Amino acid sequence: MIIDRRAFLAASAAAAAFPSRSIAASGAVLTPEQFGARGDGTTNDTAAFARLSAEITRRRGGTISLRAGRTYLVGGQTRGGGKFGWNPSPIIELEGLPGPIQIIGNGARLRAQPGLRLGTFDLGSGGAVHHPMPNLNHDDLAIPYRAMIWINQCSGPITIRDIELDGNLERLSVGGQFGDKGWQVPATGLMLRFNTGTETVDNLLTHHHALDGATIVGTPERSVRSRISHLVSRYNGRQGLSVTSGRGYDFADCEFSHTGHGSVQSAPGAGVDIESEGKRPIRDLTFTRCKFLDNRGCGMVADSGDSEGVKFTDCTFVGTTNWSAWPRKPGFSFANCTFVGSLVHVYGGPDPTLAARFTACRFTDDPALSPTGQVFSGAGQAPILATGPDGDALFDGCTFTLVGGAVLPATRSAIYRNCKMSQRSRKPARPIGRYQGTNSIAGPVNLTGSSNEGTLVVNGRQLPPGPIAGGLNR
């Protein structure tokens, strides 16, 4: 579980060498040291950050600047007297502010205090207690922190950059489970919640949190966009990133990896979970040059709630122990993306304009492209891709190169346009659909129910145009 802190610090140092004009124009710059923080990696600085947050709140906005390379230990708990058995102390919490907010990390780290309690514990003895699941009783629940950075209902522009958020999960005191399964306990790196101004996040390393590396609860009605770049989220318990509502978020050069591979795991264990909650829709997200690697759950899952219209460009999805992707929502498109390992529940739906679209994408089960050498292909010789029962998912200029046990796609009415397919498995595949342009297939397939509307070569034999029948082609 190596975190590439050297690369993170190098990027932070480069950014610090060229401070942005927005910092210079923001007025006074406040540091946690002005409020009593030590940043020495041994002193707990939670109270200092709370006082700093209070001053930013009094000013209705402002700039927080951390000292370069410092480690600030944070997180505190009070037994009883609140909603939970052990209640968390606030760290950086800013709510309802109209002015600009900037948090400039300069390569510094916030790290959770070792020994913080996580889960359920006996209020008398303090020992871990285990309840039958699901368990939604708050009375004996211990929360280490809500979020290291919590920004809620602010209307001014928000900038966060060059900071590491370390949940220190392996050194927390873990009690019994909470929620439907696992440890669904608040403990997130970054929380952006119902903000109406622009949000700019750059060069953020967030890892080993019991819940999510980052969570976005957006406002669907807002008209501005937010940009999140170089966000690296690894080894978190539930999600690398959760998006539960909002519109207009652009993610670039981000990584969401190794979720659920720490000491605490909770479903769905995804790299990214796009899941609308509370009847608030999700619209207009983009992911460019992002990586979704080696997550215990899906690399990316979109399965519930009112979510629509997400674009992925030049992204890489690698499923090692689970599906590489699960795009079961309308209006998802993928351009020049690579999928290593099977993906499932590719959306079709009654409206073909909202069916999933894949352009110049690559699908493979090659273990050389996996960070662990392991590639997930379902149970046995499963298809590399499976669509829903209806709709016309489009594969335009795609390649399917299967060198292991996976078989070609299982589809019912897809559109294959200028695609190349090959598999080594001798298990027959059923990539049923309409074949347009020039396509080629190498491997055993049953195309009964398909139609050839262009040039289709199967195992060296060119098929005539029109409906395809006749069963297995080898």
What's the rounded Cα separation, in Å, for the pair 456 and 442? 11
User: Rounded to the nearest 10 degrees, how much is the dihedral formed by the CA atoms of 286, 290, 295, 297?
Assistant: 20
Whether the CB-CB separation of 159 and 15 falls below 8 Å is answered with: no
Q: What share of the chain is helix, strand, coil (3-state, %, to 5)?
A: 10, 45, 45
Backbone angles phi, psi at 217, to 5 degrees: -115, 95
DSSP 139: T
Which residue is it, tokens 């909470």?
178
The tens-digit pLDDT sequence of the chain (474 residues) is 345 666 766 677 666 655 544 444 445 799 999 999 999 999 999 999 999 999 999 999 999 999 999 999 999 999 988 899 999 999 999 999 999 999 999 999 999 999 999 999 999 999 999 999 999 999 999 999 999 999 999 999 999 999 999 999 999 999 999 999 999 999 999 999 999 999 999 999 999 999 999 999 999 999 999 999 999 999 999 999 999 999 999 999 999 999 999 999 999 999 999 999 988 999 999 999 999 999 999 999 999 899 999 999 999 999 999 999 999 999 999 999 999 999 999 998 778 889 999 999 999 999 999 999 999 987 667 899 998 766 689 999 999 999 998 999 999 889 999 999 999 999 999 999 999 999 999 999 999 999 999 999 999 999 999 999 876 676
Cis omega before residue 350 (within 30°)?
no
pLDDT recorded at residue 22: 45
Helix or strand run (H / E) with residue 55:
helix 46-59
pTM: 0.94
DSSP 459: T
| pLDDT score at 1 | 39
Query: What pLDDT, on the 0 to 100 scale, is given for residue 474?
Result: 63
pLDDT in the model for residue 469: 83
pLDDT at 259: 98
Structure token pair of residue 470: 């006749």
Among 87, 15, 5, 1, CA closest to 46: 87
Amino acid 350: pLDDT:
76
The per-residue DSSP string of 158-194 comes to EEEEEEEEE--GGGSEE-B-BBSSSB----EEEEEES
**Rounded-to-integer distance, Cα 254 and Cα 233, Å:** 8
Tokens 């090959």 found at: 422
- d(CA 35, CA 264) in angstroms, rounded, equals 34
Using the structure block, give the residue that is written with the tokens 């209806």. Answer: 390
Rounded Cα distance between 328 and 313, Å, is 18
Residue 24 has a pLDDT of 40
Helix (H) or strand (E) holding 95: strand 92-95
The pLDDT value recorded for residue 104 is: 98
In degrees and rounded to multiples of 5, residue 458 shows phi and psi of -120, 115
DSSP-derived secondary structure for 191-255:
EEES--S-EEEEEEEEE--SSEEEEEE--TT--S-EEEEEEEEES-SSEEEEEEEEEEEEEES-E
Exposure string of 241-257, with b = 16+ CB inside 10 Å and e = fewer, is: bbbbbbbbbebbbbbbb
Separation CA 308–CA 379 (nearest Å):
29
Instruction: Report yes or no: 235 and 258 within 8 Å, Cβ to Cβ.
Output: yes
Taken in order of first residue, the domains within the chain and their CATH numbers are 5-473 (2.160.20)
**Around Cβ 25, how many Cβ atoms within 10 Å?**
9
